[in-house]
């Protein structure tokens, strides 16, 4: 287990958005989070790299264990944590800089200055994110000149460039066409050899296609969590069944 | 009715045209008599010398204006930018409001008041600190100018910084950057055209200022030096126009200084247009 969540509760002011969530996330697997809009998937994902710290109205109780440390321990080094737990957002958000500088941003932030080393990191990250061939001749061009699908893969590459253990992805394909989506799904399946992926998706076929574990959230609660084939073939909870058969959501 | 609006619009166009034409017509004759390079590169300004040949070198004024503006930018831009970052990103709401209000007040203070305070506070302070015969120096003028350009730098760059999408900052933090790293390495570069606009506005304000600096700079036509009394292009015109005899070469030369100043300001405005256009293209 790479992540172990224990009795996690989260409030946005007095909106109780996560209720007693406990779950284990296995290493080198893809874990999908599904559930209707507003059930707390993004909220949960953002608790795993403490991005919720940025929101002053959020209050959190409970524990999230990562590599033997509770990430909510006050002694936790948050920037170091975020180096190990990378994140890809729903809307591709490359920096308004060159493709190269986007990828090099993380490594530079963490103190890597040597040109040759950066070049190598950039190339490797872009290759890992399956976008190297498309951009290798235009690394100095602005990242915003890429297509939406390319921008999203660039953001994945940017996250990979800091060599995280875990990659959190929040509906990373929801704004993309089927071909770009296919490429990213393929990419994510490749990534699990080296990384652990936790992804939010609204697309149940996608969850079935690529995830190993699947967690179903409803109104801030974790209703059911098991391996994906079990969850979709023999759900134990009536609400899960209703959701995956499309009776609501 | 439409005609009335058109006529009103015509008024400002008319004034700009009149002023430009007048400046050229009035500014060129002295160049012709004295010679462009003798005037632009001459280091001695003695327009009313009677025992010797009068001399009309305006280089001291040009360089003083350039050094003065550059100095003000070197002090005002870092302070202004850091303030803008603090107000836009870090300050608690109440503190931010307090700073914004003070900056607005600062912008509203008439330049003669800056001059007065500079004269009674700053000039003696510089005189004592550096043990000079007079504290009325280029340095005093630079400090006054630096304070005067703060409001435009803070206001314009704060607006630009606040307009940077939060997603950029989130992406940076999610990569393990601290807030400070994020502001300097993502937010500031993303707002660069707005920041450049702020700086150019500051330059424009500084180079055109006369009243405040005439009171603190000693008003002597020296080649510029930090601890020397100096005269700017603006202050040369302001202080000598009243006694330069009508029809004299002295008076014509003052108009030539005006023309040079005008060309500087045109250049700055061109720069401004360039940055604003770049900004539009980015979005
Ligand atoms: N920044 C915020 N401030 C206040 N409340 C929030 C904030 N973000 C989310 N919420 C609330 O928390 C609950 C869970 O929202 P969340 O965004 O986690 O849902 P989600 O499952 O990701 O939905 P979607 O599928 O639409 O993205 C909702 O009730 C939402 O209104
Ligand atoms: Mg969401």
Quote the pLDDT of residue B281: 59
**Predicted model pTM:** 0.87
Q: Tell me whether residue B265 is in a domain.
A: yes
Residue A73 has a pLDDT of 93
> What is the DSSP annotation of B33-91?
HH-HHHHHH---EETT-SSS--EE--HHHHHHHHHHHHHHHHHHHHHHHHHHHIIIIIS
Closest-CA residue, ligand 1 atom 8, reads A43
Q: Look at residue B180 and tell me if it is in a domain.
A: yes
Distance linking the first and last C-alpha atoms of chain B: 37
Residue A25 CA to ligand 1 center (angstroms) comes to 22
Which residue has tokens 């287990």? A1
Mean pLDDT of B111-134: 95
B12 domain-assigned: no
Residue A134 to residues A107, A139, A242, Cα–Cα distance (Å): 22, 10, 42
Among chain B residues, the shortest Cα distance to A79 is held by: B176
Nearest CA to ligand 1 atom 26: A37
Handedness of CA A53, A57, A63, A64 (dihedral sign): negative
Domain of residue B205, CATH code = 1.10.3720.10
Q: Which of B167, B185, B186 sits opposite A89 (nearest CB)?
A: B167
Distance CA(A207)–CA(A229), nearest Å, equals 10
**Is pLDDT above 60 for A249?**
no
Q: Whose CA is nearest to atom 22 of ligand 1?
A: A42
Q: B183 CA to middle of ligand 1, Å?
A: 26
Cα–Cα distance for residue pair B275/B283, rounded to 1 Å: 13
Res. A179 pLDDT band, cuts 50 70 90: confident
Q: What is the mean pLDDT of residues B8-24?
A: 93
Q: Is B16 part of a structural domain of the chain?
A: no
Question: Could you give the C-alpha distances from A57 to A16, A20, A54, B197, in angstroms and in order?
Answer: 12, 19, 9, 35
What residue owns the CA closest to ligand 1's atom 12?
A17
Confidence check: pLDDT of A180 > 90: no
Average pLDDT rounded to a whole number, residues A81-105 = 95
Alpha helices in chain B (DSSP H): 2-34, 36-41, 59-85, 93-108, 111-117, 123-130, 138-162, 166-174, 179-182, 188-190, 192-208, 211-214, 233-240, 249-282
Work out the end-to-end distance of chain A between its first and last CA atoms, rounded to an integer number of angstroms: 30
B188 contacts on A by Cβ (under 8 Å): none
The reported pLDDT for the residue numbered A173 is 87
Say how many Å lie between the CA of residue A91 and the centre of ligand 2.
11
pLDDT, average across residues B22-48: 93
**Is residue B9 domain-resident?**
no
Which band of pLDDT confidence, cut at 50, 70 and 90, is reported for residue A95? very high
pLDDT tens-digit map of A4-62: 999 999 999 999 999 999 999 999 999 999 999 999 999 999 999 999 999 999 999 99
pLDDT in tens, A192-236: 899 999 999 998 999 999 999 999 999 999 999 999 999 999 999
**Contact check, Cβ <8 Å, B173/A51:** yes
Residue B3 lies inside a defined structural domain of this protein: no
Of A96, A97, A109, which has the smallest distance from its Cβ to B175's Cβ?
A: A109
Test B178 with A79 for CB contact under 8 angstroms. Answer: yes
pLDDT band at B130 (very low <50, low <70, confident <90, very high): very high
Sheet (strand A58-66) strand order: A15-25, A3-12, A58-66, A69-70
Hey, are the CB atoms on A82 and B174 less than 8 Å from each other? Answer: yes
The answer, yes or no, to whether residue B282 has pLDDT greater than 60, is: no
Q: Is residue B85 part of a domain?
A: yes
Output the six-digit token pair for A213.
């574990």
Q: Confidence class of residue A245 from pLDDT cuts 50, 70 and 90?
A: confident
Q: Which residue of A has its CA nearest to B192?
A: A96
Domain around B228: 26-282
- How many independent structural domains does chain B possess? 1
State whether B185 and A93 contact (CB < 8 Å): no
Closest residue by Cα to residue B83 from B193, B195, B162, B158 = B158
Q: Whose CA is nearest to atom 31 of ligand 1?
A: A38
The alpha carbon of A35 and the centre of ligand 2 are apart by a number of angstroms equal to: 10
Instruction: Look up tokens 């803070």; give the residue.
Output: B154
- Interface check B171 vs A, CB under 8 A: yes
- Residue among B168, B177, B282 whose CB faces A109 most closely: B177
- The answer to whether position B64 is within a domain reads yes
Q: Give the tokens for residue A96.
A: 């308004």
Rounded average pLDDT over B52-80: 95
Nearest residue in chain B measured CA to CA from A106 = B175
- Res A101 pLDDT > 60: yes
Ligand 1 atom closest to the Cα of residue A36 is 25
With CB atoms and an 8 Å threshold, state whether A51 touches B190. no
> A165: closest CA among A89, A87, A53, A69?
A87
Question: For ligand 1, atom 16, which residue shows the shortest CA distance?
Answer: A40
Residue of A nearest to B170 (CA): A51
Alpha carbon of A230 to those of A200, A212, A213, B8, B226: distances in Å? 18, 10, 9, 78, 80
Instruction: Decide if A83 and B185 are in contact by the 8 Å CB cutoff.
Output: no
Q: Which helix (H) or strand (E) holds A23?
A: strand A15-25
- Contact status of A175 with chain B (Cβ, < 8 Å): no
A55 CB within 8 Å of a chain B CB: no
Neighbours of ion ligand 2 (CB under 5 A): A 42
Q: Which ligand 1 atom lies nearest to the CA of residue A217?
A: 21
CA distance B92 to chain A (A): 12
């Amino acid at each position: 287990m790479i992540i172990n969540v224990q009795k996690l509760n989260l409030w946005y002011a007095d909106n109780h958005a996560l209720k007693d969530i406990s779950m284990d996330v296995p290493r080198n697997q893809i874990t999908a989070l599904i559930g209707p809009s507003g059930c707390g998937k993004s909220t949960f994902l953002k608790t795993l790299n403490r991005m919720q710290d940025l929101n002053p109205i959020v209050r959190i109780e409970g524990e999230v264990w990562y590599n033997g440390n509770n990430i909510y321990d006050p002694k936790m080094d948050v920037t170091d944590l975020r180096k190990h737990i990378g994140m890809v957002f729903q809307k591709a958000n490359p920096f308004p800089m060159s493709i190269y500088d986007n990828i090099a941003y993380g490594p530079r932030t963490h103190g890597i200055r040597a040109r040759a080393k950066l070049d190598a990191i950039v190339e490797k990250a872009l290759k890992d994110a399956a976008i190297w061939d498309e951009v290798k001749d235009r690394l100095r061009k602005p990242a915003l000149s890429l297509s939406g699908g390319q921008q999203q893969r660039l953001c994945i590459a940017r996250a990979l460039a800091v060599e995280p253990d875990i990659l959190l992805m929040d509906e990373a394909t929801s704004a993309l066409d089927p071909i770009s989506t296919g490429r990213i799904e393929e990419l994510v399946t490749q990534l699990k050899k080296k990384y652990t992926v936790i992804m939010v998706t609204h697309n149940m076929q996608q969850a079935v296609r690529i995830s190993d574990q699947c967690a179903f959230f409803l109104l801030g609660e974790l209703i059911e969590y098991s391996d994906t084939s079990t969850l979709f073939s023999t759900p134990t909870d009536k609400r899960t069944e209703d959701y995956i058969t499309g009776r609501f959501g | 009715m439409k005609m009335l609006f058109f006529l009103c619009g015509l008024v400002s166009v008319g004034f700009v045209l009149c002023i430009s034409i007048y400046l050229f017509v009035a500014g060129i004759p002295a160049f012709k008599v004295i010679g462009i390079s003798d005037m632009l590169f001459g280091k001695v300004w003695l327009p009313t010398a009677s025992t010797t040949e009068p001399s009309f070198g305006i280089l001291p004024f040009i360089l003083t204006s350039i050094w003065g503006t550059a100095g003000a930018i070197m002090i005002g831009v870092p302070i202004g930018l850091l303030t803008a970052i603090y107000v836009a990103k870090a300050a608690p709401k109440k503190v931010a409001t307090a700073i914004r209000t003070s900056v607005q007040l600062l912008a509203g203070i008439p330049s003669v008041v800056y001059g007065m305070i500079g004269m009674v506070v700053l000039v003696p302070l510089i005189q004592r600190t550096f043990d000079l015969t007079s504290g009325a120096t280029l340095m005093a003028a630079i400090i006054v100018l630096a304070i005067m350009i703060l409001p435009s730098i803070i206001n314009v760059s704060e607006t630009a910084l606040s307009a940077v999408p939060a997603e950029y900052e989130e992406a940076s933090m999610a990569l393990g950057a601290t807030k400070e790293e994020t502001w300097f390495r993502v937010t500031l570069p993303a707002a660069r055209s707005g920041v450049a606009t702020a700086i150019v506005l500051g330059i424009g304000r500084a180079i055109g200022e006369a009243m405040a600096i005439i009171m603190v700079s000693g008003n002597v036509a020296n080649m510029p030096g930090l601890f020397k009394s100096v005269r700017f292009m603006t202050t040369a015109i302001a202080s000598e126009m009243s006694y330069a005899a009508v029809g004299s070469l002295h008076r014509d030369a003052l108009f030539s200084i005006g023309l040079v100043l005008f060309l500087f300001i045109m250049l700055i405005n061109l720069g401004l247009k360039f940055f604003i256009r770049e900004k539009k293209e980015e979005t």
